[in-house]
Amino acid sequence: MKLKIIALTCLMCLALASGCSKEPHYTVDFTPNPAEVDIIITTEDALYETVDGWADRLAEMAASTTSAYDSWVAEETSKEEFFEEIGQINSKMQLLKKESDLKTEYEIEGSDSDQLRWQNLMLAYTNAKNDLNDFLVLSQELTSDEEIKGMYQSRVVENFPGDLELIKDYVASYSE
């Protein structure tokens, strides 16, 4: 009887040990799928034009956010209606983020100073996008009206306009 228990224990240990050395049955591929890339930016003109268009879309979303916020603060709409409007705007934001972050490929060559200008342009765009996105996403998780108002003030009123203006300045200086 003891021998059977020891043999069974050894077989179980061997089975477990052999199962641990196997490769996982799944793989995760983080490389972008070329079939999903919709925009390939190959020139400086295309870069500035595309980012300017994205900035215009951000400005429209910010205006819609401000309109929804003002209606809620003035008690013309309920908090639930405000969150519903914010959710719709957030859906547009997620589409823009997917387009700019996942569906666009950059294949531009230039000097170091050109590369630096492009990086600054993209940094300003990313900051503006993140400011607005943070409010759209996080405001729905906040419970206090004062927290929502504070985040709106910080992200949409104070940070976003400066980032958007920086994008427009980069685009204008390129056009000159």
Report the alpha-carbon distance of residue 21 to residue 38 in Å, rounded.
Answer: 41
116 CA to centre of own chain: 22
Residue 26 is predicted with a pLDDT of: 29
Q: Of 6, 19, 139, 152, which is closest to residue 80 (Cα–Cα)?
A: 139
The pTM is what?
A: 0.76
CB distance 61 to 92 below 8 Å: yes
* Short-list 34, 38, 164, CA closest to 99: 38
69: CB partners within 8 A, 6+ apart: 82, 152, 156
* Euclidean distance between CA atoms 18 and 16, whole angstroms: 6
**pLDDT digits over 13-62, tens only?**
544 444 444 333 323 333 444 556 678 888 889 899 999 999 999 999 99
Q: 105 vs 130, which has greater pLDDT?
A: 130
Give the pLDDT confidence of 104-120 residue by residue, as tens digits.
Answer: 888 888 888 888 999 99
Distance, CA of 48 to CA of 120 (rounded, Å): 12
Q: Which amino acid is at 74?
A: A
Q: Above 80 in pLDDT, residue 73?
A: yes
